[in-house]
Amino acid sequence: MVVALDAEIAAALAPVREAMKGVPPPAPGDWRARRELFGAAITAQAALWTAPDGVVVTPCAAPAEDGAAIPMRLYRPAEVRSPALAVHLHGGGMFLGGLDTHDSRCRAYAGLSGVPLLSVGYRLAPEHPHPVPVRDCYAALRWAVANAPGLGVDPSRIAVMGDSAGGGLAAGVALLARDRGGPAPAAQILIQPMLDDRTTVAHPDLDGVATWTAADNLTGWTCLLGRSAGGPDTPGHAAPARAADLRGLPPAYIETGQLDLFREEDIGYADRLGRAGVPVELVQYPGVPHAFDTFAPAAAVSRRAVAGRVLALQGL
């Protein structure tokens, strides 16, 4: 039985789909065309997000393992209600997106929750394939912990948070921190996370509703991993669903959509975390595709999703 698309999300997507009718989809593997096409769409949709007034944004940078400077932005709400902090990792399939594409939502999360966010401009694949992106994000976490006193932050209450590819990177950072014995995140907030490089075939229910397709996903993983994507030797730090041992990881909040290409891998990861003794909160929103809130942030289901993320931040 095919699940119906949420009515408000369908209405928001209708003009987008109409505009795309005359545009042939990029060929599988064509990341340049996707970076241009999706980057423009994400930037345009970001204007739909609104945030409370008074969020102060401060540019900063962290040193990467190879000495490069990783650009970041610190978002401090007008009323800081907690000594916690979330290190925010933007989505974009591993090959697009940046500080600007997620600026409005970072303002919203900080302003609504009262919890500061540190947004990370990690380097993108394919110019910087694995392990550069996840190591950049881990370096940002280490920087946040080292600078916690000056930020007015409790270093034991710093979480990692991300959507889509950023959710996968947040999960990868949690694994990398555990395996290196580095600073452990207080929590991992994974929003529709991209976790498994073997997910290259779409479920039939996604025909005509997918906003991130199997071809898009294969392109993203190939950018990150090259020809080894989908093969037997993908490391867990790159694709967290591949990690054999999930014990000792921080508590997780995981969100997915019923019509998301990542639905099965997200639910499967949540189940494995729970079986490994990790506290997990799993939320599935009905009748919505990947990044549904990007296209319709004012829809009822999107407002519920944002409220859930805000509560996860306030629980740090």
Question: Is 260 known to be catalytic?
Answer: yes
Whether 164 is catalytic is yes
User: Are the CB atoms for 267 and 190 separated by under 8 Å?
Assistant: no
Q: Are strands 69-76 and 117-120 parallel, antiparallel or unpaired?
A: antiparallel
272 touches 246 (CB < 8 A): yes
For 2-70, what is the HEC assignment?
A: CCCCCHHHHHHHHHHHHHHCCCCCCCCCCHHHHHHHHHHHHHHHHCCCCCCCCCEEEEEEEECCCCCEE
pLDDT attached to residue 82:
93
Six token digits for residue 239: 């694709």
Instruction: State pTM to two decimals.
Output: 0.97
Length of the chain counted residue by residue: 316
Q: Which pLDDT tens digit goes with each residue over 39-74?
A: 888 888 877 888 889 999 999 999 999 999 999 999
Q: Is 130 a catalytic residue?
A: no
Select which of 136, 197, 216, 260 is catalytic: 260
Other Cβ atoms closer than 10 A to 1: 4
Low-confidence ranges of the chain (pLDDT < 50): none
CB 123 within 8 A of CB 133: yes
Task: Give me the chain's average pLDDT, please.
Answer: 95
pLDDT of residue 22: 77
- The CB density around residue 77, as the number of other CB atoms within 10 Å, is 23
> How far is 22 from 265, CA to CA, in rounded Å?
32
Catalytic residue chosen out of the listed positions 90, 130, 237, 290 = 290
Query: Of 113, 119, 164, 302, which residue is the catalytic one?
Result: 164
